[in-house]
Amino acid sequence: MDAYTELLSFARETQALGEVAGRLGWDQETMMPEGATPQRAEEHAAMAKVLHARHIDPRVGEWLAVAEAKDPVAAANLRHIRRSFERNSKVPADLAAALAKTTSLAHRVWAQARADEDVAAFLPLLEEVVALRIAEAQAVAGDADPYDALLDDYEPEASGAGIAAIFDRMRPRLVALRQAILEKPAPSALSGTFDEDGQLRLSEELARAFGYDTAHGRIDKAVHPFSSGSGLDVRITTRTSLTDPFNCFYSTIHEVGHAAYEQGIDRAHLLTPLGSGVSMGVHESQSRIYENQLGRGRAFTGWLFERMKDTFGDFGIADADAFYATVNRVSDGFIRTEADEVQYNLHIMLRFDLERALISGDLLVRDLEAAWNDRFKSDFGYAVDKPSNGVLQDVHWSEGLFGYFPTYSLGNVYAGCLNSAMRAELSGLDDDLARGDTSRATGWLRENVQQFGGLRTPMDTIAHATGSLPSEEPLLQYLEEKFGRIYQL
């Protein structure tokens, strides 16, 4: 066997073990008996240790030194393996261990602090997490920007400065759009209750309508919906809320977007480094375009309105236009995950600016809550009322995930670009969507984005699909036009 073949075979086993570890996480959120928690922590830790040892295995370095790429697939595989090996090898073992231990502890302390509305109880550990992540970022980045080194884990090629430039152009237009909308009368919200069996049945129908393949996946309930797995076993979860069926339906469609990406990758890449989504941003572009540009569009909501009436009977919304406005209702709220398309990115920009300042040292952890509250007031016009609605609301920082938040908005930006290119190419698409038929849209995304997995870089993936480098302009135009029409701005 030549070095490349040996290396790929090793990487394939690593990938298979990664799938096992991922499914352990799925099990924990869906199936695990509650009393199993302490044992599960040891199982997770043991798997993480096995995977870490493989990621820095010296044989990988030896194979990389002599492996030759005979084709673009091999070149892409080598690029991914080299990136991961070099990144992981730069982090000293004791730092990696300290990070694993501290984030595991910080996660528990964060959950308790959030429940207790007690920021002070969380800050000492958050300080440790930030210090460790800065140390890690410096070890990886050398002389380069440490934040970029963190970002690189989730969105290769992106830079903090590049994202800041995009966000700085987006923010004033989104703030202005939000203000214009909130001066208008609000569409009616849903009222009444919607039985949970009906929600789950319709949720399954939506998953099928968006092309989710249950021969290679399954749908279960979880407190926080997620998608997990790659290749032939890609599972999604959803949740129900008696008074808010949209939470169920759009969680499902969102997760189907993620899952469709994994399920849509060329099977030739199964269990290789090319066999899963190339970056968080591109992943999120799929979940967002399924959820928003397709799922929350006027055409598809017309079909959904009828299916909801079939399922739940009359629920007090007069017609499909009113339903469309209700689905896309913009209202005040503190919580990122509950935000509408207009306000969502403002939540992200707040987090991005704060975490970048934390990593650069310009902001100290002890000043984080005040900085959060000031910025929130400035963008949203009202004050945070309690920490669980503010600085303690998200899990990410407690787990050491710095550099992750901006990928959500990059996903929205990419989705805007993809939607624009797709609409230009597929005429009459809304006629399909009005019948609940997403196949041409999802087929276009599969053909132009999903199938490539890790073969192309994130930027190349979007550029090849759209014919140009990503820009925030299509997303902003889409939002201004869509909400301008709904709210008659």
Question: Residue 24 interacts with its own copies (CB under 8 A)?
Answer: yes
Measure the CA dihedral 217/218/221/225, to 10°. 20
Sheet with 227-228, side-by-side order of all strands: 219-221, 235-238, 227-228
Beta bridge partners of 407: none
Closest approach, Cβ 390 to its own copies, in A, equals 35
Q: Is 255 a catalytic residue?
A: yes
Residue 409's nearest CA partner among 312, 275, 287 is 287
Smallest gap from Cβ 3 to its own copies, in A, equals 20
Report CA torsion sign: 151, 155, 159, 163. negative
Residue 228 pairs in a beta bridge with 235
Q: Among 5, 16, 59, 168, which residue sits at the site for its own copies (rule: CB under 8 A)?
A: 16
CB 136, min distance to its own copies, A: 24
CB 174 within 8 A of CB 346: yes
SS3 state at 105 = helix
Strand 219-221 and strand 235-238: pairing? parallel
Query: What span, in angstroms and rounded, lies between the C-alpha atoms of 259 and 277?
Result: 10
Taking contact as CB under 8 A, which single stretch among the options 11-19, 187-195, 369-377, 474-482 is the one that binds its own copies? 11-19
428, burial (CB in 10 Å: exposed 0-12, middle 13-18, buried 19+): exposed
**Judged by CB under 8 A, which of 3, 17, 95, 139 binds its own copies?**
17
From 4, 19, 158, 269, residue interacting with its own copies (rule: CB under 8 A): 19
Distance of CA 204 to the CA centre of its chain: 21
Nearer to its own copies by Cβ, of 49 and 184: the residue is 49
**# of chain residues touching its own copies (CB under 8 A):** 38
CB of 66 to its own copies, least distance (A): 24
Which of 107, 136, 191, 218 touches its own copies (CB under 8 A)?
218
Of the two residues 65 and 215, which places its CB atom closer to its own copies in the complex? 215
Closest separation in Å from C-beta 267 to its own copies: 10
Backbone angles phi, psi at 453, to 5 degrees: 50, -125
Is residue 36 close enough to count as binding its own copies by CB under 8 A?
Answer: yes
- Read out DSSP for 152-196? TTTSTT--HHHHHHHHHHHHHHHHHHHHHHHTSPPPPPP-S---H
Is residue 216 marked as binding? no
CB 421 within 8 A of CB 466: yes
Among 156, 231, 458, 474, binds its own copies (CB under 8 A): 231
425 is in an annotated binding site: no
Residue 297: phi and psi, rounded to 5, are: -75, 160
Burial classification of residue 353, based on how many CB atoms lie within 10 Å of its CB (0-12 exposed, 13-18 middle, 19 or more buried): buried
Minimum distance of its own copies from residue 413's CB (angstroms): 33
| Binding to its own copies in span 303-362, by CB under 8 A | none
Question: Taking CB under 8 A as the rule, which mask of x and - marks residues 248-277 in contact with its own copies?
Answer: ----------------------xx------
CB of 341 to its own copies, least distance (A): 32
Is 135 an interacting residue with respect to its own copies (CB under 8 A)? no
Q: Per CB under 8 A, does 58 bind its own copies? A: no
Q: 283 a known binding residue?
A: no
A 10 A CB-CB count for 277 gives: 25
* The one among 57, 127, 213, 480 contacting its own copies by CB under 8 A: 213
Of 30-38, 112-120, 450-458, 478-486, the window that binds its own copies (rule: CB under 8 A) is 30-38
Nearest to 345 by CA among 186, 476, 459: 476
Binding piece for its own copies, criterion CB under 8 A, among 10-18, 93-101, 420-428, 439-447: 10-18
The nearer residue to its own copies, 26 or 210, going by C-beta atoms, is 26
Stretch (H or E) spanning 354: helix 341-360
Tokens 């902001």 sit at which residue? 363
Smaller CB separation from its own copies, 24 or 141: 24
Exactly one of 128, 155, 255, 262 is catalytic; name it: 255
Site membership for its own copies, residue 121 (CB under 8 A): no
Q: Who's near 179: CB < 8 A, 6+ residues apart?
A: 381
59 binds its own copies, rule: CB under 8 A = no
Write down the least CB distance from residue 37 to its own copies, Å. Answer: 8
The CA radius of gyration of the chain, in Å to the nearest whole number, is 22
Contacts of 223 by beta carbon, 8 Å cutoff, 6+ apart: 29, 239
Closest CB to its own copies among residues 156, 273: 273
Report whether 172 contacts 378 (CB < 8 A): no
Of the pair 230, 461, the CB lying nearest its own copies is at 230
- Which residues here bind its own copies, judged by CB under 8 A? 12-13, 16-17, 19-20, 23-24, 27, 31-40, 42-43, 45-47, 49-50, 213-218, 231-233, 235, 270-271
- The residues that are catalytic are 255
Give the annotated binding-site residues: 254, 258, 284
Give the annotated binding-site residues for Zn(2+): 254, 258, 284
